[in-house]
Structure 1
């Protein structure tokens, strides 16, 4: 009598399958529950920053030199809350793109199961960011209406390498700054915990996004790469330029117009953004996604 044991098909043992399997194993061994890991009940200590001050959009400007220590700390708290709110916005886009990508695919495939695991982690991250922004004493920051509507189109139409490369850009930019914040003892402890959780779990998401981008681009022709490079660059521009809402300055008690003017000319912040994205740009170049039109948008966003 033949055995009824169902064995995995040989052709399923692809490099992508192995990557997904390792990510599932990692998630099983190292995952966090922000509801219990973060000290939500601890009162906000305003003697701390919300983010490393060097990452503030005004750090190094004349306005920054004039600000009191309390104003600087309040600004970094508002900026951290804005970054968190932008993270929620893009995580919602990400979840919908990934769900659409795996729709009606083999649920026994490790890649399918990893995708659902990633979505579950992103759901927890979004709740964590929302509670963190609220605890920082910030209002609900939202991207500009144009970015919101373009995001609506992107999440509906983007697929394959365009979806995964855009996911990678958003995750990598946030990852670099959060690695600094989580190690900085000047940053309020609960924000450091949030950043640590996000960095650990997002490292798996970035691995998957890189792997999927390479896989989807294998054998892609010049026209397809040109189109996807352009789409990813536009998405990246709106993600990065939406991170710090203009209202953070007024909510920190500053002159909004003056702050916007000095932030726009802040070479220190532009340099921080460029240096943080060097590895990302190398990956995009190796994937053939740094075309002339794409470079225009990356330069405008100070990513290169």
Structure 2
């Protein structure tokens, strides 16, 4: 099967199907109508990385794999001491780390959705969309794994402790927590990837992966937000309190995803000093705080941002 041609001006490969006119808005209290809309969008705008990405395209060794201002050490004293090729290599390793971590997050989300379906009507359109999303996420896992190989980096594996923790994460994905966990894992990284996808200065193969991912994640974020609103209509005060106070744990998880000593070790840097400078890097931290703002407003507006959670998000660098 051949690769779809690239638009010479935008660098974007066309979708598998044509766009249709916008569908009218529906209430989050009508899950079947929401699911119908999302299923329709999925049928019109879904991608297959096997044909929508030119995996064999050459990569310029002098071109960054992330926008330069997104690289964790950008602007630090260590950055100033690095050669151009070292900086490019750091961006390559950080992309490989992001893709590798994305695989396990999609894995846990799929498990959470599947567990929820055990108690749902298999003929419901809401369940059909959940299965469609699982299909999207499975394709993303393949794309991320193939992407790490394509950029020429070894994938980053979870440690034994991390793997054990991750195995238990889907058990906690119940009720409102399932949808909040999905949003925490998707919205912040989606915002950063959306900005990176349109940067003409990064490697085209990475930009294409980000375009595909953000196009499909837009549906998943809508689905998760609707899930939060729908579940809140019948959730107990205790459930809202627990979710509102504990969602800050996601800040810890996201920081673990974004900073990895092994990334710096593979780049030939002092990992501990690099980690120290990266975490203190105000230029990059400001970008991540900006990426969190939309989710923060949504959570606050719906009574899901408790004082403990706010302190955790602030401690891990996502709030001022």
TM-score, scaled to structure 2:
0.87
Quickly say closer, same or farther: Cα 1:211–1:88, change in 2 above 3 A. Answer: same
CA contact (8 A) 2:251 2:318 kept: no
Aligned to 1:297: 312
Q: Which has the higher helix share?
A: 1
Instruction: Provide the aligned length of Structure 1 versus Structure 2.
Output: 292
Distance 1:231 1:275 in 2: 21
Within 5 A, what are the aligned runs for 1:1-150? 15-150=30-165
* 2:313 pairs with 1:262: no
Aligned to 1:211: 226
Within 5 A, what are the aligned runs for 1:202-281? 202-281=217-296
TM-score, scaled to structure 1:
0.91
CA contact (8 A) 1:143 1:242 kept: no
The secondary structure found in structure 1 opposite 2:247 is helix
Residue-by-residue CA offset, 1:226-248 (whole Å, 9 max, x unaligned):
21123322134213422332111
The secondary structure found in structure 2 opposite 1:242 is helix
* 2:210 pairs with 1:195: yes
Residue-by-residue CA offset, 1:55-94 (whole Å, 9 max, x unaligned):
1110111111121111111111110111111111100000
Residue 286 of structure 1 deviates from its aligned partner by: 1.3
Gaps of 5+ in 1: 1-12
The secondary structure found in structure 2 opposite 1:81 is helix
Gaps of 5+ in 2: 1-27
Structure 1 vs Structure 2 CA RMSD: 1.7
Distance 2:293 2:97 in 1: 24
Distance 1:110 1:20 in 2: 6
Aligned to 2:11: none
The secondary structure found in structure 2 opposite 1:220 is coil
